[in-house]
């Protein structure tokens, strides 16, 4: 049998079951609501700035695998003074957030929102909440809470554990803008999409030394571009499963890097290409990933001058490239003749 004939069963195995998704989503929403309410109680400046939450990452794209236990969320901030994005001409994909007028806000240094000062301010707000309590009762279950990472990268991570489940949240502060405020070159996104959905300026974990820098992102733009593209989302799920199956070798190959490969190919491929069987598309996209690794350059979708691989060390790149090459060979060998156990071993060790 062909590889393509086994992929529906593999997708069914790695996909989240809807009843499980509903429970996790309900509990996650209740936990987030409680945490955000308490942050506002403990920090008046946070109460003034809090402008809601925005889901991002694999959950937003509905490509999360196996268990719905990790949530990536933007904490949208709107300060009571104007914050204007300015292009950073030295670093592709980054902006400065200029404060118009004087402000004594703890996140502002010398007229700009300062990435480290912002994270320090939010860290103190979270710590104030966690000095108040370390557990919450949600939907009849007691969740013990732990504050991890604490914004020393880009995210403030909260892990909530009950007797039945563990749910983790990566909260990233974000400044929301419309396309009218877009300071970079025109993105490869339709006018309708970029006019209908916002973009964000967010801190980046491995950011430039300049503490004024924030990276642009637009998860809703990407979601809309991927919508109704036939097998595209299933191919991304399968690529993530391949990566997870070789997690020791590919631990530094992020889900967003895999997604970027597909986004970069959208305009280059016809509708007929995405209507082919999943195995054909998967093998093509995996080979494209290998080509980007060989070239040591994976352009950022919204800013081609920014290279995702710049954040990887040489040994990490070599390890990933070797594993991706191995999987590429395996996929091509079993495309037309693939026993079920060999297909399962590829995706589910």
Contacts by 283-286, CB closer than 8 A, 24 or more apart: 283/328, 283/331, 283/332, 283/335, 285/235, 285/239, 285/261, 286/239, 286/242, 286/324, 286/327, 286/328, 286/331
Q: Which helix (H) or strand (E) holds 219?
A: helix 219-226
Per-residue model confidence (pLDDT) at position 140: 87
Q: 77-124, pLDDT tens digit by residue?
A: 999 999 999 999 888 899 999 998 777 899 999 999 999 999 999 999
Confirm if 58 and 38 have CB atoms less than 8 A apart: no
Rounded CA-CA distance 180/194 in Å is 9
Per-residue model confidence (pLDDT) at position 5: 86
Query: 302 Cβ partners below 8 Å, 6+ apart?
Result: 93, 184, 187, 216, 217, 218
Closest listed residue to residue 145, CA positions, set 153, 156, 133, 154: 133
Per-residue model confidence (pLDDT) at position 207: 61
Confirm if 321 and 293 have CB atoms less than 8 A apart: yes
Q: 212-250, pLDDT tens digit by residue?
A: 999 999 999 998 888 877 688 889 989 999 998 898 999
* Domain ranges across the chain: 17-218, 228-347
Rounded CA-CA distance 157/170 in Å is 5
Which residues of the chain are under the pLDDT cut of 50? 61, 63
CATH architecture designation of domain 228-347: Orthogonal Bundle (1.10)
Confirm if 74 and 172 have CB atoms less than 8 A apart: yes
Q: What residues pair up with 215 in beta bridges, in sequence order? A: 94, 202
Per-residue model confidence (pLDDT) at position 61: 47
> What is the Rg, in whole angstroms, of the alpha carbon atoms belonging to the chain?
21
Instruction: Give me the CATH code for the 17-218 domain, please.
Output: 3.30.460.90
Rounded CA-CA distance 53/36 in Å is 9
Alpha helix (H) residue ranges in 43-81: 44-49, 57-61
């Amino acid at each position: 049998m062909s590889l393509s004939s086994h992929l529906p069963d593999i997708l069914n195995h790695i996909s989240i079951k809807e009843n499980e998704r509903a429970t996790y989503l309900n509990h996650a929403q209740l936990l987030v609501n409680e945490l955000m309410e308490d942050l506002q109680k403990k920090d008046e400046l946070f109460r003034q700035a809090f402008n809601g939450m925005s889901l991002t990452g694999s959950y937003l794209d509905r490509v999360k695998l196996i268990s719905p236990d990790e949530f990536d969320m933007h904490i949208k901030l709107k300060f009571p003074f104007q914050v204007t994005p300015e292009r950073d001409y030295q670093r592709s994909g980054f902006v400065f957030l200029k404060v118009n007028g004087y402000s004594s806000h703890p996140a502002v240094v010398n007229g700009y929102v300062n990435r480290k000062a912002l994270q320090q301010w939010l860290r103190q707000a979270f710590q104030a909440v966690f000095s108040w309590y370390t557990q919450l009762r949600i939907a009849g279950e007691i969740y013990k809470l732990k504050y991890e990472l604490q914004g020393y990268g880009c995210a403030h991570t909260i892990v909530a554990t009950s007797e039945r489940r563990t749910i983790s949240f990566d909260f990233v502060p974000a400044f929301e803008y419309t396309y009218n405020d877009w300071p970079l070159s025109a993105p490869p996104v339709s006018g309708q999409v970029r006019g209908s959905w916002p973009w964000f300026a967010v801190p980046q974990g491995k950011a430039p030394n300049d503490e004024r820098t924030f990276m642009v992102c637009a998860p809703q733009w990407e979601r809309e571009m991927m919508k109704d593209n036939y097998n595209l989302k299933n191919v991304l799920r399968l690529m993530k499963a391949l990566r997870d199956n070789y997690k020791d070798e590919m631990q530094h190959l992020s889900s967003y890097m895999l997604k970027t490969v597909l986004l970069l190919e959208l305009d280059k491929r016809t509708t007929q290409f995405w209507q082919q069987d999943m195995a054909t598309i998967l093998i093509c996209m995996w080979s494209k990933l290998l080509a980007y690794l060989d070239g040591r350059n994976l352009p950022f979708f919204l800013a081609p001058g920014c290279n995702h691989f710049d954040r990887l060390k040489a040994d990490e790149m070599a390890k990933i490239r070797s594993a991706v090459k191995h999987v590429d060979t395996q996929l091509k060998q079993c495309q037309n003749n693939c026993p079920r156990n060999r297909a399962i071993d590829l995706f589910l060790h």
